[in-house]
Amino acid sequence: MSANNAFHIAVLAGDGIGPEVMAPAIEVLRKIESKSGLSFRFTEAPAGANNYLATGKSMPESTIKLCEEADAILLGACGLPSVRYPDNTEIAPQIELRFIFDLYAGVRPARLIPGVPSPIVGADKRGIDLVVIRESTEGLFASMGKGVVTHDDARETMVITRRTSERLFEFSFRLAERRKVRGKPGALACVDKANVFKAFAFFRGIFDEIAKKHPEVKTDRIYVDACSAMLVKRPWDFDVMVMENMFGDIVSDITASLIGGLGMAPSADVGDKYAVFQPCHGTAPDIMGQGKANPTGMILSAAMMLDWLADKHGVEGAAEAGEQIERAVDQVYAGGLKPMEFGGSNGTADITKAVLAAL
């Protein structure tokens, strides 16, 4: 584990373009290491569909042990559409790690970077800077692998518990408070379907209880369908949103699309002790090995990791290093960098080189 400013990072590159975007993130962290007081030790380990093909498991026990011993986990995209478990579900170590390490808070920031196109009219002037917090161990995903299918019907069960909801909301309020200190609105909205389902009324009730402990945070309650409609009309009205697992899975893809797409979107899955950082995009086997992958989401996930390490270990320099990475990314996109997914000509190597130069 960490000693002062030295951090041990588990690196699970994954499948498809996972290794292709992981390499630039490591280069960026090495650059940060060279110009700061921080030190990193990276240990690579297998996880994903290719490991399943070779061994019959998504991850060996040695990978899980490494993740347990490391200070943080960097995870590339995992899974391949053509590789499935016998029940026809995809290989998804990213989901398995959430359950293994009780990573209940999925943090999905969506910030529109200068120079990046958004489909929302006025976003270039108004800006988009919000965070979706997705509960990551319960909800409808609690039924993963446990659903019952017969000839006549199929049933999955949603689970929401008080213990996890209380921790999720405390995490969400703390994040809103931290954002307020940094000049953001510091507002938190509970997104649910409490008008239809008792489970979501229970969820909202716990939110209201925790809200009383954080009177300085402006709160709102909104149904997920209304939230989705508002996001594609006035996304700048949102700051932090917290929601159930499946709703978060869907809404976070919406918010990523507002800021240029999944290639631009970082994420983290955080628990009381452990955290995993990975881009929101998939393995994109159709562009694997062609140098077209956009590493920005992975690079910004590494910046999120530094901010989390700073908060967890009280290392102020790590937070500043994370901000340096974000500023470098802003600078290169504002300067005209245009990834291939936006119709530009800049591939993985170009984007990496530009960010390193900006640092």
Tokens of 279: 């881009």
77: amino acid identity, one letter: A
pLDDT tens sequence across 3-21: 578 999 999 999 999 999 9
Does 303 fall in a domain? yes
**Based on the domain organization, do 169 and 248 belong to the same domain?**
yes
Does 110 fall in a domain? no
Please, which residues have CB within 8 angstroms of residue 317's CB and are 6 or more apart in sequence?
Answer: 5, 36, 37, 38, 310
C-alpha–C-alpha distance, residues 281 and 17, integer Å: 10
C-alpha–C-alpha distance, residues 72 and 210, integer Å: 28
**Based on the domain organization, do 133 and 247 belong to the same domain?**
yes
**Cβ atoms within 10 A of the Cβ of 103, count?**
23
Enclosing H/E stretch for 246: helix 245-258
Render each residue's pLDDT in the chain as its tens digit; 359 residues.
Answer: 445 789 999 999 999 999 999 999 999 999 999 988 899 999 999 999 999 999 999 999 999 999 999 999 999 999 999 999 898 888 899 999 999 999 999 999 999 999 999 999 999 999 999 999 999 999 999 888 899 999 999 999 999 999 999 999 999 999 999 999 999 999 999 999 999 999 999 999 999 999 999 999 999 999 999 999 999 999 999 999 999 999 999 999 999 999 999 999 999 999 999 999 999 999 999 999 999 999 999 999 999 999 999 999 988 899 999 999 999 999 999 999 999 989 999 999 999 999 999 99
Are β-strands 266-270 and 275-279 bridged in parallel, bridged antiparallel, or unpaired? Answer: antiparallel
**Based on the domain organization, do 236 and 301 belong to the same domain?**
no
Domain housing 200: 118-259
**Based on the domain organization, do 191 and 64 belong to the same domain?**
no
Does 109 fall in a domain? no
57: amino acid identity, one letter: K
Tokens of 352: 């990496």
C-alpha–C-alpha distance, residues 51 and 36, integer Å: 35
The residue out of 213, 235, 259 marking a domain boundary is 259
**Based on the domain organization, do 123 and 224 belong to the same domain?**
yes
DSSP-H helix ranges across 70-122: 93-100
50: amino acid identity, one letter: N
Check residue 1 and give its pLDDT. Answer: 43
- For 149: left if phi > 0, alpha if psi spans -120 to 50, otherwise beta; the answer is beta
**Based on the domain organization, do 126 and 253 belong to the same domain?**
yes
**Based on the domain organization, do 88 and 130 belong to the same domain?**
no
Tokens of 60: 């060996």
The sign one gets for the Cα dihedral 116, 119, 125, 128 is negative
The residue out of 233, 259, 285 marking a domain boundary is 259
Per the DSSP assignment, residues forming a β-bridge with 6 are: 3, 39
pLDDT tens sequence across 285-297: 999 999 999 999 9
Chain centroid offset of residue 107 CA: 5
**Cβ atoms within 10 A of the Cβ of 177, count?**
15
Does 39 fall in a domain? yes
**Based on the domain organization, do 71 and 30 belong to the same domain?**
yes
Domain of 223: which CATH number? 3.40.718.10
Check residue 88 and give its pLDDT. Answer: 85
311: amino acid identity, one letter: D
Biggest CA-to-CA distance, the chain: 62
Chain centroid offset of residue 255 CA: 12
Of 43, 306, 272, nearest in space to 137 by CA: 272
Please tell me the total count of domains within the chain.
Answer: 2
Does 267 fall in a domain? no
**Cβ atoms within 10 A of the Cβ of 129, count?**
17
**Based on the domain organization, do 129 and 228 belong to the same domain?**
yes
**Based on the domain organization, do 67 and 94 belong to the same domain?**
yes
- Sheet strands side by side (includes 187-192): 39-44, 6-12, 72-75, 275-279, 266-270, 105-111, 129-135, 240-243, 187-192, 218-223
3-state SS assignment for residue 301: helix
**Based on the domain organization, do 232 and 162 belong to the same domain?**
yes
The residue out of 259, 290, 314 marking a domain boundary is 259
The end-to-end CA distance of the chain, in Å, is: 27
**Based on the domain organization, do 97 and 124 belong to the same domain?**
no
Does 108 fall in a domain? no
The CA R_g of the chain, rounded to the nearest whole Å, is 20
Does 266 fall in a domain? no
Does 233 fall in a domain? yes
3-state SS assignment for residue 105: strand
Cβ 187 vs Cβ 216: under 8 Å = no
